[in-house]
Amino acid sequence: MITNNNFIQVGDKAPDFSTVAVYEQEFKQIRLSDYLGKYVVLLFYPLDFTFVCPTELTAFSDVFNKFFRLNTEILGISVDSEYCHLAWMQLDRESGGVGNLKYPLVSDLTKKISLSYNVLNNEGKSLRGLFIIDKEGIIQHFIVNNLDFGRNVSETLRTLQAIQYVQAHPDEVCPANWQPGQSTIKNSPLHAKEYFQSI
């Protein structure tokens, strides 16, 4: 049984890592700390050449430019090797591959990254963990799905926008289902009443 005594939480510094990734059909050494100054979405997924995983990875790739315009990079991570990642990216979508993704796929062959983020299950696979890390390297949001169902790309984007909004406006908070351009709540009892009286 694989165990981890570290329990990361929102507000913690994201565990750094250095490993090999595949991007634009090339192997590339990357380190999470190299992305300081940008927001990062970490997408843990179980394995290459599976069924739900390509639907998630390609969905994020298809809207990558929306994240990029928000100063955000995406990193896909599984316990496969970089060679497995490369083979999967060289396979077209119609054949179960992911094609040429617009972001790197990270190799976690040692499983240390998945373990440090508490997403490694007892079978040695990564659960569907999604982490949004801010430009200071702090975890602002995470969710973890079991293996059999995928995540929502639009909700990830909305959550990222909410994080960025409140960081830029520290005297405001975003209510449930908030979308950019909608009303926020002033972070004080008196001003909060104005919002509640308006809904």
**What's the CA gap between 181 and 188, in Å, rounded?**
20
Structural domains of the chain in order of their starting residue, each with its CATH number: 18-152 (3.40.30.10)
Distance of alpha carbon 42 from the chain centroid: 3
- Cα–Cα distances (Å) from 84 to 2, 31, 53, 135, 165, in that order, read 23, 20, 14, 30, 38
Considering 53, 79, 139, 174, which one is annotated as catalytic?
53
Q: Per-10-residue mean pLDDT for the chain, 199 residues long?
A: 68 96 96 97 96 94 97 98 95 90 97 96 95 98 92 96 95 90 82 73
Q: Taking the model in full, what pTM does it have?
A: 0.92
**Backbone φ, ψ for residue 25 (5° rounding):** 65, 20
The verdict on whether 53 is a catalytic residue reads yes
